[in-house]
Amino acid sequence: MYEKVTKNIFWIYIDKSITMNDQYIDLFERYIKNQLSKDEKQTLEQNLQTDVVLKNEFNTFKTLHAGIRVNVLQDKLKMLKELDAPTDKVDKQSSLSSTPKFWIISLLLLGLLSVIIYYFAESNTIPTNLEDVPQNTTQPIQIDDNQNESTDTLVQKTNIPFVPKNDNVGSNKTKAPSKKREVVAEANKKTFWQKAISVYQSPASFAMILRDNSGTSQDTYKKAVALFTAKKYNDVIALIKDLQDEKSQYLLAHAYFLAGLPEQAIPIFRPMATDDFSMFYDDAKWYLSLSLLAQFPESKDELTSLLNDLEKTSKYGTQVEKIKDQLK
């Protein structure tokens, strides 16, 4: 039946005065049936890419070939109708409508015909392998492979950058420094604080502060100065740390420094050392530099800048070398 329909189709092709080289027909037929050698197949596919005439002939052949398949399916459908026809003289329409098997098969075949016709009507591409050419089995609609790839396949194809392992990520625990480093750091800190203490001289202005201190309680301040003279620096801190007048704050900064807490003295000395109207302007610069020396080398940049300013003052210009000597 297939050969019969094939001949009928090609006679229709010739009757319409459309010519196709017999050699092309034979070549295309062998290509579709996968009867070409590897070299012949490769040559044909290359020519289809470059030869426009050959490409048009092949597209025409594909359309005819699809028509042949449609006719074959229609003949098979007709045969099924004949097989399912009733043997008695009952009305033909009533018999067919009462046969579920016939209608199921008919719907399936019509669906296949629709898919085949739609596929060949929309296809304008040149096949690069045998799977692109219609065979004796139904060719499904092409679907983008990317849509059918599973999530696992996509994950496997994704290049995941290497990330070094870090045991500290996601954890609040930080690696504690070794005891040896802590001891060395503490030793260096004490060394620079001791160097600063060796240069430190208690200011001679506390008496003047006491006489002029009308903004704070005389009794509290007198007690603080007495404690400072007795070198009870922690008691001084506890007594006047909440007083906000400049004189009390200046005394408090000295107590912090001498108690081994230069990091607490620095934020008190610093604003006084930058305020031209402060009564402790130059003195605060000097004692700030000693506090920064105790925090060396973390305070290196600020200390260097401050020493350059002190060298320009008449009171402490000659004493800057004492601090520079401690840095050697």
Per-domain boundaries in the chain: 2-143, 180-326
The whole-number pLDDT of residue 21 equals 65
Give the per-residue pLDDT at 271.
95
Task: State residue 15's pLDDT score.
Answer: 45
What is the rounded CA–CA span in Å between residue 192 and residue 293? 6
Residue 149 identity (one-letter amino acid): E
Asked if omega into 140 is within 30° of 0 (cis), the reply is: no
Say which amino acid occupies 285.
Answer: K
Return the CATH fold of 180-326.
Answer: 1.25.40
Give me the pLDDT at residue 101, please.
80
Alpha helices (H) in 162-245, listed in sequence order: 179-199, 206-212, 218-229, 233-240
In sequence order, what DSSP letters do the residues of 289-328 get, joined into one string? HHHHHHTTTTTHHHHHHHHHHHTTSTTTTTTHHHHHHHT-
Q: At what angle do helices 281-294 and 246-258 cross, to 10 degrees?
A: 20
Task: Please give the Cα distance from 221 to 133 (Å, whole number).
Answer: 105
Q: What CA–CA distance (Å, rounded) separates 214 from 226?
A: 18
Task: Tell me the H-state helices in the chain.
Answer: 2-15, 22-32, 38-50, 52-84, 92-97, 100-122, 145-148, 151-157, 179-199, 206-212, 218-229, 233-240, 246-258, 262-273, 281-294, 300-310, 320-326
- pLDDT of 32: 83
Beta strands of the chain (E only): which ranges?
A: none
Instruction: Specify the pTM.
Output: 0.43
Dist CA 78 CA 92 (whole Å) = 14
The answer to whether the beta carbons of residues 293 and 196 sit under 8 Å apart is yes
Going residue by residue through the chain (328 aa), what tens digit of pLDDT does each one get?
Answer: 444 444 454 444 444 444 556 677 888 888 888 888 999 889 988 988 998 888 888 888 888 777 676 566 667 667 777 776 555 544 555 555 567 888 888 888 888 888 888 877 766 554 545 445 455 544 554 545 544 444 444 444 445 555 455 544 444 454 555 666 665 555 555 689 898 999 898 887 665 455 555 555 678 888 999 999 999 999 999 999 998 888 889 999 999 999 999 999 999 999 999 998 888 888 999 999 999 999 999 999 999 999 998 988 888 888 888 898 888 8
Which pLDDT score, from 0 to 100, does residue 200 have? 93
